[in-house]
Structure 1
Amino acid sequence: MTGDRKDDHVRLAHAQHTTGTEPPPGGPPTPNQFDEVRFVHHALAGTDREKISLATRFAGVEWPVPLYINAMTGGSPRTGEINRDLAVAARETGLPIATGSMSPYLKDPGTASTFTPVRREHPDGFVLANLNAEATPEQARRAVGLLDANALQIHINTVQETVMPEGDRSFAHWATGIERIAAAVDVPVVVKEVGFGLSGRTVRELASLGVRAADVAGSGGTDFARIENGRRNRPDYAYLEGWGLSTPAALLDARDCGLPLLASGGVRNPLDITRALALGARAVGASGPFLTTLLDGGVDALVRHITTWLDHLTSLMTLLGAHSPDALADCDVLLTGSLRAFSLDRDLVTTAEKGVTV
């Protein structure tokens, strides 16, 4: 049953990214708050391309690029093949990679072979194992050990579980569970949402639990409320589609809240990567665009896709005069539209001192 559910997730996510993001004929485009983040163009700010470094530091380790393949899948033969191909693309491009939730492995050790290709195909890369907050410390150690993982990603997904027909309905103990896991494993723990965003209040609480970093993972990309609603006998949770904070809103809300931030959710192109880094992310993750490219064109197409994104990111940093990903946070950024309104309502960054102006 778990394998069928994982295959359903892949099928529905692929459909969402190939059809669900297209506007109706003559209709408005699907909103994405990354479009409300604009760089102030300074015509003499540009630098020399050869001075650009894409390297960034995360969890005490230098990543060669500020881009990673975020958690997607695992638990069935088909998803095992997808994990293998994603890992090959990560190896060829130098990207860190996170597995999908390894809960199927904890329930059935026979599914280990759907996750182990990630480490086998990317032997020297940065690999994040992935579990939910229900895992015990012993299970967390098993997951990390299976992949010789460099970090453990714990996903929190109350909205998804609420809509999921067979989902959990008890969440009050999750914070305690996260704290116990963080104290039990020998690798950094990263907590991420699954597309509904982490608020500043949540990030501050995570910092108090011993978590080392947070992936804000906001709305705008794969919508798991929509996916799980599509799996119900009666799709009666449609009103939760679009719930949560967008990735730009979450980054603004969680700035200076005690943890290094990663960003994912709704990332469509290299400009969105640049925007997220300018709003304070250390690195940026993508899932849906990479999955779509892989399923439609294969590994070679995905390698070309990632390589092109990295090339364009270098070009954008060159014209902005940012010699490193961290330096993008010093660029002048304007917030517009609903994101500007959100920032004002939340009394967030309102001066140019931090490079962001509303």
Structure 2
Amino acid sequence: MNASRKDDHVRLALAQHARNSASDGTSPDSGTGPGSHGRANQFDDVHFVHHALAGTDREKVSLVTEFAGMTWPVPLYINAMTGGSVKTGEINRDLAVAARETGLPMATGSMSPYLKDPATADTFATVRHHHPHGFVMANINALATPEQARRAVGLLEADALQIHLNTVQETVMPEGDRSFGSWPANIEAVVAAVDVPVIVKEVGFGLSGRTVRLLAGLGVAVADVAGSGGTNFAVIENTRREHADFAFLEGWGLSTPAALLDARGSGLPLLASGGVRHPLDVVRALALGAHAAGVSGLFLSTLRRDGLDALVTRIHQWLEHITALMTLLGARTPGDLKSSDLVLTGDLNNFRTQRRPAPFAPPKGT
């Protein structure tokens, strides 16, 4: 069941990305599609004010980003996708090679299959094997025990541990979990049990500022806001339901730019993933407060459609374009982009002006 589900997720995610890109007449690799399941992408509501004399010298620009005691060579990473079956193991292998050739950090998909069946270990361990000196993140769910967390980290000799939050996905998933109350205490126990930084991420529905403040209190090191705009797991899981009766949740969640606005100043360094279509979106995310931006579905689509060499070429091109945009904006480091002059429009600006955060009250027992 786990292997079949993982293969289903890849198949449905690829179909979703192709459909989204085609829905407004763009090609799958143009990076200008409308976002998650046909919704407008709120990165398009983020505009830089152009200052004609703000530019710097290209040779003075560094892509190195530092946060939570970690140093990454670039502010771009391959985010959690897959593993657990023969086919997905091959995908992890190729993604790891691409990460190695371009210097990108990389996360595996959820390692729940390995924790249930050690026979699937190679479908995840291939990431460390093919990216031996890179920054690798293991990935577990919020119900994993401290012992399971240590096993996941140990298998990959991981530099960090991701814990993914996916209550919406689990709610729609036919065989999903239905009990979420223990998640904060479980996360806190895992943080205390592992000797690597813990990064908590959503799976495409966004982390609010309230959630990030709670995570900071649990000892988490970094939050990946992982908002809507990319792969939509409510759509994927609803497709797997016999009657597709959860369609009303397909628009649920915060976009990645909205989540960044909501979570800034909440006590943790932020990463951004979900709906990142091109280098300009990466730079937009950095300007909104992220230390790096993650990509999943778009890189997977490139790999499966055009092959490994094409993916490596594409990532190198992204890094060149990010450098060019930073040069244009006068940002010598990714962190300098936080001082950019921005104008927010459309739905994102509506969110910013209308949002009235509720008072933060940690759940009892945390």
Classify the TM-score, shorter chain: over 0.9
How far apart, in 1, do the equivalents of 2:333 and 2:166 lie? 33
State percent identity of aligned pairs: 72
What's 1:238 paired with? 247
What's 1:200 paired with? 209
Equivalences, count: 347
What's 1:209 paired with? 218
What's 2:96 paired with? 87
- Which of residues 152, 155, 173 in structure 1 aligns to 2:182? 173
Q: Offset of 1:229 from its aligned partner?
A: 0.5
Q: Offset of 1:346 from its aligned partner?
A: 1.8
Matched-pair contact (CA < 8 Å) for 1:220–1:242: no
How far apart, in 2, do the equivalents of 1:259 and 1:19 lie? 35
- Which of residues 329, 339, 342 in structure 1 aligns to 2:348? 339
When residues 100 and 253 of structure 1 are mapped into structure 2, their CA distance, relative to the original with a 3 A threshold, is same
What's 2:12 paired with? 12
Is 1:289 the equivalent of 2:298? yes
Is 1:102 the equivalent of 2:123? no
Task: Tell me the secondary structure at the aligned position of residue 191 of structure 1.
Answer: strand
- Which of residues 269, 280, 284 in structure 2 aligns to 1:271? 280
Q: Offset of 1:33 from its aligned partner?
A: 0.2
How far apart, in 1, do the equivalents of 2:59 and 2:127 lie? 32
Task: Tell me the secondary structure at the aligned position of residue 122 of structure 2.
Answer: helix
Is 1:46 the equivalent of 2:65? no
Task: Tell me the secondary structure at the aligned position of residue 243 of structure 1.
Answer: coil
Q: Offset of 1:25 from its aligned partner?
A: 6.4
Q: Offset of 1:60 from its aligned partner?
A: 1.2
Q: Offset of 1:24 from its aligned partner?
A: 5.2
Q: Offset of 1:105 from its aligned partner?
A: 0.3
How far apart, in 2, do the equivalents of 1:290 and 1:115 lie? 18
How far apart, in 1, do the equivalents of 2:41 and 2:190 lie? 34
Q: 1:158-180 CA deviation, whole Å, 9 max, x = no partner?
A: 00000000000000000000000
How far apart, in 2, do the equivalents of 1:58 and 1:236 lie? 42
Larger mean Cα displacement after TM superposition, 237-246 or 183-192: 237-246
Is 1:220 the equivalent of 2:235? no
Is 1:160 the equivalent of 2:164? no
Is 1:118 the equivalent of 2:118? no
What's 1:356 paired with? none
How far apart, in 2, do the equivalents of 1:20 and 1:313 lie? 24
Q: Offset of 1:298 from its aligned partner?
A: 1.1
What's 2:74 paired with? 65
Task: Tell me the secondary structure at the aligned position of residue 290 of structure 2.
Answer: coil
- Which of residues 65, 72, 91 in structure 2 aligns to 1:56? 65
What's 2:2 paired with? 2
Task: Tell me the secondary structure at the aligned position of residue 22 of structure 2.
Answer: coil
Q: Offset of 1:227 from its aligned partner?
A: 0.4
How far apart, in 2, do the equivalents of 1:197 and 1:135 lie? 21
Q: Offset of 1:82 from its aligned partner?
A: 0.2
Q: 1:217-242 CA deviation, whole Å, 9 max, x = no partner?
A: 00000000000001111111111112
How far apart, in 1, do the equivalents of 2:9 and 2:19 lie? 15
Q: Offset of 1:61 from its aligned partner?
A: 2.3
Q: Offset of 1:322 from its aligned partner?
A: 0.5
When residues 25 and 266 of structure 1 are mapped into structure 2, their CA distance, relative to the original with a 3 A threshold, is closer
Q: Which blocks of at least 5 consecutive residues in structure 2 are unaligned?
A: 27-32, 358-366
How far apart, in 2, do the equivalents of 1:309 and 1:20 lie? 21
Q: Offset of 1:120 from its aligned partner?
A: 0.3
Q: 1:249-272 CA deviation, whole Å, 9 max, x = no partner?
A: 000000000000000000000000
How far apart, in 1, do the equivalents of 2:251 and 2:48 lie? 26
What's 1:298 paired with? 307
Is 1:325 the equivalent of 2:315? no
Q: Which blocks of at least 5 consecutive residues in structure 1 are unaligned?
A: 349-358
How far apart, in 2, do the equivalents of 1:330 and 1:24 lie? 33
Task: Tell me the secondary structure at the aligned position of residue 153 of structure 1.
Answer: strand
What's 1:258 paired with? 267
Q: Offset of 1:117 from its aligned partner?
A: 0.6
Q: 1:294-328 CA deviation, whole Å, 9 max, x = no partner?
A: 00011101101101100000010011010010000
When residues 219 and 40 of structure 1 are mapped into structure 2, their CA distance, relative to the original with a 3 A threshold, is same
**1:72 is aligned with what amino acid?**
M
TM-score, normalisation: structure 2: 0.93
How far apart, in 1, do the equivalents of 2:56 and 2:171 lie? 49
How far apart, in 1, do the equivalents of 2:312 and 2:320 lie? 12
Task: Tell me the secondary structure at the aligned position of residue 116 of structure 1.
Answer: helix
How far apart, in 2, do the equivalents of 1:24 and 1:86 lie? 28
How far apart, in 2, do the equivalents of 1:288 and 1:2 lie? 20
How far apart, in 2, do the equivalents of 1:24 and 1:69 lie? 26
How far apart, in 1, do the equivalents of 2:94 and 2:62 lie? 27
**2:283 is aligned with what amino acid?**
T
**2:302 is aligned with what amino acid?**
T
**1:74 is aligned with what amino acid?**
G
Q: Offset of 1:59 from its aligned partner?
A: 3.3
How far apart, in 2, do the equivalents of 1:312 and 1:25 lie? 24
Coordinate RMSD, CA, aligned: 1.3
How far apart, in 2, do the equivalents of 1:193 and 1:237 lie? 19
Q: Offset of 1:19 from its aligned partner?
A: 1.6
Larger mean Cα displacement after TM superposition, 156-165 or 229-238: 229-238
